[in-house]
Amino acid sequence: MKYALLHGMRDLRIEEKPVPEITPDRIIIKIFSCGICGTDVLIYNGKIPHSFPYSPGHECSGIVTDVGKNITHIKSGDRVAVDPNYSCGFCYYCRHGYPNLCENQKKIKVKSNGGFAEYISVPETLVYKIPDDVSFGQAALIETLSCCIHIIEEADIKVSDTVVIIGGGAMGLILLQLARKKGAAGIILSEPVESKRQIALKLGADIAIDPTRQDLASVVRSMSKQGANVVIEGLGLPDTIEESLTLLAKKGRLILPGFRLEERKIHISPYFLTTNEITIKGVFLNPFSFSKAVDQVSNLECDLIITGNYPLEQINEAMKEAEKGNQIKLIIKPNGGYKA
């Protein structure tokens, strides 16, 4: 089988190895779609340090080709998506209902290799059946959707809230759709790429601005003189986090799902937080939301989010294209353009 292996910064090679052997507690999946995540790009270009060699790809879907003798809920031929986030189930956080904060969390090591591969071997607990009317491309968005569902739940968006979303990538555009379904009265999306702003408007944004040309704070105040009730800052950058605080109304919630492995700090006034009862909340991964995402993915406007498909052999070209920041979600198709 062919699979992608990252040997160092921008040194991504297609290599060959045997298809993983079946073992009693594992499932073999033939991968038909695997999305390129922003984290994949940041590891590829060295902006997030990582150990090498590393087999990337965690937003994958496909067909089960073999199951171990101990497998009970999945069978050969099932169409499935894979949750890449493994928790131990035994540590303090797992046993108190926070598996996303597991002290022994594993990702790649629990799999034979990443999803940019013809086949992958995973434990049954990470595998979810997908409906027949959900394509493999749509299913590759389930992991992102599951994270967005957790973000929206933590944001506690109420009917009549004004919501600002910073960033118009796949996550931002999914958050936009979920916020609209929650009843947000006004949604502003901030994104410098014109094509993404146009898609945001099609998906229900009331306003989509270019932050390099327009003053976001003025736009927010024109919609709500009190400010935004919720700001979701998806970039994880200190400057935009600090700016986001200035957009909030009293009792406002700043949600931080994005991150960068940098030493830079943010400057916050405790007086401002206290006297305005501001909430700042970090949000990580997708606890108990993958099944919800499986149920909801068919309601997403996925065709507007998936902006390109590439064969596995062209993964370097796809990574370089994703790195430019003009695309939304690019999908790698290791076994061809299968659409069943």
Kindly indicate the confidence band of residue 263, based on its pLDDT and cuts at 50, 70 and 90.
low
- Residue 108, pLDDT above cutoff 50: no
25 and 134 housed in the same domain: yes
Give the model's pLDDT for residue 258.
84
> Is residue 13 domain-shared with residue 102, that is, in the same domain?
yes
Q: Distance between CA atoms of 334 and 118, rounded to whole angstroms?
A: 5
Q: Give the tens place of pLDDT for each residue, 290-306.
A: 999 999 999 999 999 99
Residues 263 and 158 in one domain: yes
Q: How confident is the model at residue 340 (pLDDT cuts 50, 70, 90)?
A: very low
CB 72 within 8 A of CB 60: no
Give the residue ranges of DSSP H helices in 47-161: 136-139, 142-155
Q: Is residue 340 part of a domain?
A: no
* 65-74: pLDDT as tens digits: 999 999 999 9
Contact between 244 and 164 (Cβ < 8 Å): yes
**Residues spanned by the domain of 329:** 2-141+300-333
Q: Give me the CATH number covering residue 81.
A: 3.90.180.10
Same domain, 52 and 162: no
150-168 pLDDT tens trace = 999 999 999 999 999 999 9
Are residues 68 and 111 both part of a single domain?
yes
If you average pLDDT over residues 230-259, what whole number do you get?
95
Determine contact, residues 122/72, Cβ cutoff 8 Å. Answer: no
Verify that 76 and 100 share a domain, yes or no: yes
Which of 300, 283, 298, 279 is CA-nearest to residue 176?
A: 300
Which is nearest to 256 in space by CA: 270, 242, 272?
A: 242
Select from 164, 167, 171 the least CA-distant residue to 149. Answer: 171
Q: Would you say residue 339 lies in a domain?
A: no
- Tokens representing 275 are 């006297």
161: domain CATH number is 3.40.50.720
User: Crossing angle, helix 216-223 and helix 238-246, to 10 degrees?
Assistant: 30
Q: Which among 249, 310, 312 is positioned nearest to 276, based on CA atoms?
A: 249
Residue 294 belongs to some domain of the structure:
no
Q: Does the pLDDT at position 259 exceed 80?
A: no
- What proportion of the chain, given as a percentage, has pLDDT over 70? 96
User: Could you tell me the two tokens for 166?
Assistant: 């910073």
